[in-house]
């Protein structure tokens, strides 16, 4: 009973915080598979493997959730200054909204909940946005490194989402209209996210993630945690000076130690 009351309150608080910052007034909302103006220039593409873990039902549900969410993001047009909010576009992952139960990370444990698997989509999108030079307004890492060496993302370059709690939110800061394309490809076992523009990307991008500390697990069979710093540097694409890089984005990700899933 308590959980049923907490969710709408949490959702309202999250929306209120975004409203105070004015973000909802700039959310991108138009999807156009065949726009009048083409987007011929690829800014960046990120390909993220789909983990082949869990029961056949869980794997099928994960794919279902990915396809359902991707439909709400594919071909989204983002004019200059507009914002992409993952949670706003996808909506609340409930049974009523068509989502199914899949794997989620909660308080250092792997569980099953409705909408599970969407973090894979958010991670793929974050990598595309990060390397395309977008402004990162909100991003959260996973609470644990559940996959270890078999993880589907570089440490420090993932994105966790939880409706009303954790969002992935970015802004197109460039004077170029952009378009997002998103594909879930089960046959290839990947999610492909790409950002396209009406003109080429004006900057070169460099992203570096460095492990600052290894956090020992509580048992020999456990999974260690990590403290990771990620930095992004930008440089004028036409510049030939290697020293021309400017630090543009910096964040620290903390993955807690946990028992092996």
pLDDT band, residue 238 (cuts 50/70/90): confident
* Per-residue pLDDT, 219: 84
Average pLDDT of 159-178? 95
For 52, other C-beta atoms within 10 Å of its C-beta total 9
Q: Is a pLDDT exceeding 70 seen at residue 105?
A: no
- Residues 6 or more apart in contact with residue 256 via CB below 8 angstroms: 108, 143, 144, 215, 225
- What percentage of the chain carries pLDDT values higher than 70? 93
Q: Are 255 and 225 in contact (CB under 8 A)?
A: yes
pLDDT band, residue 208 (cuts 50/70/90): very high
Average pLDDT of 54-66? 88
pLDDT, tens digit, 9 for 90 and up, residues 106-159: 655 566 777 788 999 999 999 999 999 999 999 999 989 988 888 889 999 999
Burial of 74 (0-12, 13-18, 19+ CB in 10 A): middle
The whole-chain average pLDDT of the chain stands at: 89
Distance (Å) of CA 157 to CA 59, 110, 130:
23, 20, 8
Distance (Å) of CA 80 to CA 77, 173, 178, 235, 252:
10, 6, 8, 20, 28
* Per-residue pLDDT, 1: 45
- Residues 6 or more apart in contact with residue 140 via CB below 8 angstroms: 159, 160, 161, 166, 167, 168
pLDDT, tens digit, 9 for 90 and up, residues 1-15: 445 667 777 777 888
Q: Is a pLDDT exceeding 60 seen at residue 52?
A: yes
| CA gap 50, 226 in Å, rounded | 22
More confident residue, 171 or 223: 171
Tokens of 59: 């794997």
Q: Is a pLDDT exceeding 90 seen at residue 72?
A: yes
Vertex 215: Cα angle to 214 and 218 (nearest 5): 140
Give the range among 34-48, 133-147, 199-213, 236-250 with minimum mean pLDDT.
Answer: 236-250
Residue 45, CB half-sphere, CA atoms under 13 Å: how many? 10
The DSSP element (H or E) to which 90 belongs, if any, is helix 86-90
Average pLDDT of 206-225? 92
Average pLDDT of 157-169? 93
Q: Is a pLDDT exceeding 90 seen at residue 171?
A: yes
Q: Measure CA 40 to chain center.
A: 24
* Per-residue pLDDT, 125: 97
More confident residue, 57 or 231: 231
Handedness of CA 134, 137, 142, 143 (dihedral sign): positive
pLDDT band, residue 85 (cuts 50/70/90): very high
* Per-residue pLDDT, 261: 64
| CA gap 153, 52 in Å, rounded | 14
| CA gap 73, 79 in Å, rounded | 15
The DSSP element (H or E) to which 106 belongs, if any, is strand 101-106
Tokens of 198: 């009406």
More confident residue, 251 or 3: 251
């Amino acid at each position: 009973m308590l959980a049923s009351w907490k969710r709408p309150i949490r959702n309202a608080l999250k929306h209120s915080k975004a409203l105070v910052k004015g973000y909802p007034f700039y959310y991108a909302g138009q999807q156009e598979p065949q726009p009048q103006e083409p987007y011929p220039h690829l800014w960046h593409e990120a390909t993220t493997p789909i983990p082949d873990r869990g029961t056949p039902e869980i794997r099928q549900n994960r794919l279902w959730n990915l396809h359902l969410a991707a439909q709400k993001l594919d071909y989204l047009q983002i004019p200059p200054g507009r914002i992409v909010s993952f949670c706003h576009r996808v909506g609340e992952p409930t049974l009523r909204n068509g989502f199914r139960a899949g794997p989620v990370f909660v308080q250092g444990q792997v569980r099953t909940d409705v909408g599970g698997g969407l973090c894979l989509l958010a991670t793929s999108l974050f990598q595309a946005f990060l390397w395309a030079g977008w402004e990162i307004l909100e991003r959260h890492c996973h609470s644990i490194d559940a996959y270890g060496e078999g993880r589907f993302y570089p440490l420090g370059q993932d994105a966790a989402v939880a409706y009303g709690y954790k969002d992935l939110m970015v802004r197109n800061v460039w004077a170029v209209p952009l378009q997002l394309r998103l594909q879930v490809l089960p046959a290839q076992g990947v999610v492909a996210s790409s950002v396209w523009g009406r003109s080429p990307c004006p900057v070169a991008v460099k992203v570096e993630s460095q492990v600052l500390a290894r956090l020992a697990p509580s048992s020999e069979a456990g999974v260690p945690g990590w403290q990771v710093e990620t930095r992004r540097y930008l440089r004028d694409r036409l510049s030939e000076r290697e020293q021309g890089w400017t630090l543009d984005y910096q964040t620290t990700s903390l993955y807690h130690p946990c028992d092996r899933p």
